[in-house]
Chains A and B, each alone.
Chain A
Amino acid sequence: MNETLTKEMGVIEEKHPMENILRMDRIPHIWCPTCGIGIAVTSFAIALEKSKIPLDQVCVVSGIGCSGRVAGYVKLDSFHSTHGRAIPFATGLKLGNPKLKTVVFSGDGDIIGIGGNHFIHSARRNMDMLVLCINNFIYAMTGGQLAATTPLTANTSTSPYGNYETPFNLPYLADSCGAVYVARWTVLHVRRLANSITEALNKKGFSFIEIICPCSTIYARRNRLGSGLDLMKFYHDNSIIKHGANTKELDIGFQQKIIVGKFVDRERPTFLESLNDWNRKVFGDKFKEYGGPDDGD
């Protein structure tokens, strides 16, 4: 509607509530109807606002896949990197300029499948970053192949007779590798997810949130689980909030109960804190702490 006409008609043009965080010039997005990734992005946007972190300092890095497209829709410094390498890319961003707040937003196939090695090492180092991992149980962008998160017996295009490979329990993996914050929510839990992201954004070190997300076009269709709405109903009926649950007990079976909540929240020196503290100890005044490219001498 043109501006004059809008004024004449007395219509107040409303801004999209997330306009300051979304690249409106890239909307509509590529995600399917009833895909949950958009909800996760909404929760992220709410969390960013709540966290009060200056948006110019926030960098979002994605890998490849449906969730890998998130970087392209957020109006922040955003990088759509290579498959599985969002975490090391974000590591470079953070260490190249320690003032940045780095968020990796990508999928299970990307972060845990092809990028699993980077995930475990970054958790071990307690690298400063928040990893938001959309788990839709399948490689969706390429048409529905078996993932490292596909529940046992589930049907995918490369396990057409059902999956016989044991999937990863992501919170357990993150916990055992040393992540300081570990949570799991479904996209049904918009408010809890947003609160969790806010909490994690304000935490130093390696934080990890698994976001269970419906993929109705591929995962649900192949497994005859109904529509996206049916999946949301399933989350409603079968999610159990259990904060502090033992991460060993968080396996997800095919159409079984999903335990959600915040499981780990602890303090551990971050990579940069350890690096700086140790070097101060060893070199004293001779240590030259690196603060980023704008640090003048």
Chain B
Amino acid sequence: MKADPKRVLTGEHYLDGDHACAEGALAAGCTFIAGYPITPSTEVVERISERIPTVGGIFIQMEDELASMAAVVGASWSGAKALTVTSGPGFSLMMENIGLACMLEAPCVIINVQRGGPSTGLPTLTGQADMMQVRWGSHGDYEIIALSPNSPQECFFFTIKAFNLSEKYRVPAFVMTDECVGHMTEKVIIPEADKIELFQRRYTKLPPEEYLPFKPGPNLVPEMVKAGDGYRIHATGLTHDEKGYPVMNWEAQEKLVRRLVEKIRKNADDIVEYEEEETDDAEIVLLSYGISSRVAIPAIQKARAEGIKVGVLRLIVVWPFPEKRVYELSKKIKAFVVPEINYGQIVLEVERSVHGECDAILVPHGGGWVHNPEDIYRGIKEAVK
């Protein structure tokens, strides 16, 4: 299915990352947006609230992030492509209903424009310290999908990609941007609508008497219906059977939670996406995501000029993590160097994935600003030692 031309602002623009996310959501066919103001993400909903009346859809400013996320799950079940946008403190408040979205298999997109934490932290300054929270923040076992753009252009495309993946796998999909990318203004090219491919939610064709709302279809993903379609379904946050009815025993738990996890793990090859550069004969691979991948460029250039063979693995999809590729590379290289604006999150996943075959060296930054490329360069130098 192609995007609707009336929703796509085709042309060359000069946009910041937040505004580009907003345009991405509209192009993706998002018709329901619930949000609560929080720096540095507010510009996303500001632009949406300006554009939505003439594009079609509803924006509502909710009373808090708990309400925003709950409303998104409701809207998703009524057939809307639904979005909410936030940053650290709001993200924490959304966690419970993110779990509900996972349990109710409600496709939805959450944009987190990360800032420095913990707590109120640095409202106006950048951070990448919610990368583990997005994966594990709600209680219980589940899987999600998270993407990490490093430019306003990518904010546009990755928001669309997040909607497509979310609709396909019926999981919350996250655009994990940050203050730096969110407030960075660059050229954004918005293509013509017929160049934008959208995934159409799989609705069942079965009659109500044969339909089971949580029976796995292809790829372990159940076919959906919308509220109001006459199927009279029940959906609950309690552990449930394929009918959607609560079942309180370990067998039902095993069947349901295993599928929720496996529908992402078993389809990881389809979801995982990264960019690779000069990894064929690399001795060091710089593994990065988001803004840190751009800050690392001068460091990589400097190291290469000195003859160090530095490859690049830049994560586009951070979750699920490209563990297979990281393991393959680990057998050929000395070390991964991982710059991130936190004290070690994705580096833990790298350590796990290399199974001891090579080193994983963190170049940390507490947040508030991006790395000095010199620090990343020193990380590379340490790695070749």
Q: How many residues of A contact B (CB 8 A)?
A: 50
Report A68 CB to chain B, min CB distance, Å.
10
Q: B234 contacts A96, CB within 8 Å?
A: no
Q: Which of A75, A80, A85 contacts B70 (CB 8 A)?
A: A85
The yes or no answer to B56 lying at the interface (CB within 8 A) is yes
Once bound together, how far apart are the Cα atoms of A288 and B233, in whole Å? 30
B58: which of A71, A81, A95, A283 is its contact (CB, 8 Å)?
Answer: A95
Is A118 engaged at the interface, CB distance under 8 Å to the other chain? yes
Please name the residue on chain A nearest to B6 by beta carbon.
Answer: A297
Q: Are A92 and B228 in contact (CB under 8 A)?
A: no
Q: Which residue of A lies closest to B58 (CB)?
A: A95
Task: Judge whether A209 is part of the interface by a CB distance below 8 angstroms.
Answer: no
User: A95 CA to B74 CA in the complex, in Å?
Assistant: 9
Residue pair B31, A56 in contact (C-beta under 8 Å): no
B66 within 8 A of A: yes
A293 within 8 A of B: yes
Question: Chain B nearest CB: distance from A46 CB in Å?
Answer: 19
Other-chain contact of B67, A59, A85, A279 (Cβ < 8 Å): A85
A176 CB within 8 Å of chain B: no
Known contacts A92-B71, A95-B71, A96-B76; decide if A80 and B234 are in contact (CB<8 Å): yes
Residue of A nearest to B230 (CB): A56
B252 to chain A, nearest CB (A): 15
A275-B58 in contact (CB<8A): yes
Q: Which residues of A contact B228 (CB under 8 A)?
A: 56-57, 59, 77, 97, 99-100, 292
Alpha-carbon distance A271/B58, docked complex (angstroms):
11
| B226 contacts the other chain (CB 8 A) | yes
Q: Does B34 contact A (CB under 8 A)?
A: yes
Shortest CB distance A52–B (Å): 17
Closest approach, in angstroms, between the C-beta of B200 and any C-beta of chain A?
A: 11
Which chain B positions have C-beta within 8 A of A288? Answer: 6, 53-56
Q: Mark A90-119, 1 if CB is under 8 A from B, else 0.
A: 111111110110000000000000000110
* Contact present for B54 and A283 (CB under 8 Å): yes
CB of B104 to closest CB in A, whole Å: 8
Known: A71-B236, A117-B63, A118-B63. A89 touches B31 (CB 8 A): no
User: Closest CB of chain B to A234's CB: distance in Å?
Assistant: 33
Q: Report yes or no: B63 in contact with A76, Cβ–Cβ below 8 A.
A: no
| A282 and B232 in contact, given A88-B74, A89-B70 (Cβ under 8 angstroms) | no
Task: Find the B residue at minimum CB distance from A279.
Answer: B53
Q: Give min CB distance, B224 to chain A, whole Å.
A: 11
Q: Is B57 positioned at the interface, with any CB of A under 8 Å from its CB?
A: yes
Give the docked Cα–Cα distance between A241 and B325 (Å): 72
In the assembled complex, how far is the CB of residue B54 from the closest CB belonging to chain A, in whole angstroms? 5
Answer whether residue A287 sits at the interface, using C-beta atoms and an 8 A cutoff.
Answer: yes
Bound complex: CA A224 to CA B60 (Å): 47
Say yes or no: A293 contacts B67, CB within 8 Å: no
Cβ-defined contact, A97 with B227, below 8 A: yes
- A121 near B63: Cβ-Cβ < 8 Å: yes
Q: A91-B74, A92-B73 are in contact. Are A80 and B237 (CB under 8 A)?
A: yes
Q: Are A287 and B97 in contact, with the CB atoms below 8 A? A: no
B370: interface (CB < 8 Å): no
Question: Which residues of A have CB within 8 Å of B6?
Answer: 288, 297
What is the CB-to-nearest-CB distance from A30 to chain B, in angstroms, rounded to a whole number? 9
| Cα separation A26 to B234 with both chains bound (whole Å) | 11
Tell me, in angstroms, the Cα distance from A23 to B236 when the chains sit together: 14
Cβ contact within 8 Å between B74 and A90: yes
Check if A97 sits within 8 Å of B54, measured CB to CB: no
**Among candidates B54, B71, B78, B236, residue contacting A88 with C-beta atoms closer than 8 Å:** B71
B74 x A290 contact (CB < 8 A): no
B382 at the interface (CB under 8 A from A): no
Contacts of A79 in B (CB 8 A): 74, 77, 104, 227, 234-236
Distance A87 CA – B226 CA, assembled complex (angstroms): 19
B75→A96 contact, CB < 8 A: yes
What residues on A are CB-neighbors of B63 within 8 Å?
117-118, 121
Q: Which residues on B sit within 8 Å (CB–CB) of A25? A: 245
B237 near A77: Cβ-Cβ < 8 Å? no
Contact B96 A95 (CB under 8 A): no
Q: A97 CA to B96 CA in the complex, in Å?
A: 24
Q: Shortest beta-carbon distance, B328 to chain A, in Å?
A: 41
A92 close to B236 (CB less than 8 A): no
**Contact A93/B54 with A100-B227, A293-B80 known, Cβ cut-off 8 Å:** no
Partner among B70, B96, B226 whose Cβ is within 8 Å of the Cβ of A92: B70
CA–CA, A212 and B133, complex, Å: 41
- A82 sits at the interface (CB 8 A): yes
The answer to whether the Cβ of B46 comes within 8 Å of any Cβ in the partner chain is no
Q: How far is the CB of A225 from chain B (nearest CB, A)?
A: 30
Is B64 engaged at the interface, CB distance under 8 Å to the other chain?
Answer: yes
Complexed CA–CA distance, A147 and B339 (Å):
49
B235 to A, closest residue via Cβ: A79
B234 and A292 form a contact (CB under 8 A) = no
Q: Are B78 and A72 in contact (CB under 8 A)?
A: no
* A286 cross-chain contacts in B, Cβ below 8 A: 53-54
B44 is an interface residue with CB less than 8 A from chain A: no
User: Once the chains are docked, how many angstroms separate the CA of A117 from the CA of B74?
Assistant: 18
The closest CB in chain B to the CB of A75 belongs to B232
Knowing A275-B58, A286-B54, say if A61 contacts B74 (CB, 8 Å): yes
Closest to A289 in B: B56
Cross-chain contact A80 with B232 (CB below 8 angstroms): no
Instruction: List 4 other contacts, CB 8 Å, given A92-B72, A97-B226, A117-B64.
Output: A59-B227, A100-B227, A288-B6, A293-B31
Closest 9 CB pairs of A and B: A92-B74, A96-B78, A293-B79, A96-B75, A92-B71, A80-B236, A96-B80, A92-B75, A88-B67
Q: Give chain A's interface residues, CB within 8 Å of chain B.
A: 23, 25-26, 55-57, 59, 61, 71-72, 75-82, 84-85, 87-97, 99-100, 117-118, 121, 271, 275, 279, 282-283, 286-290, 292-294, 297
Question: What would be 11 A-B contacts, judged by CB atoms less than 8 Å apart?
Answer: A71-B236, A72-B246, A77-B233, A78-B235, A79-B227, A80-B235, A80-B236, A81-B74, A88-B66, A93-B75, A117-B67
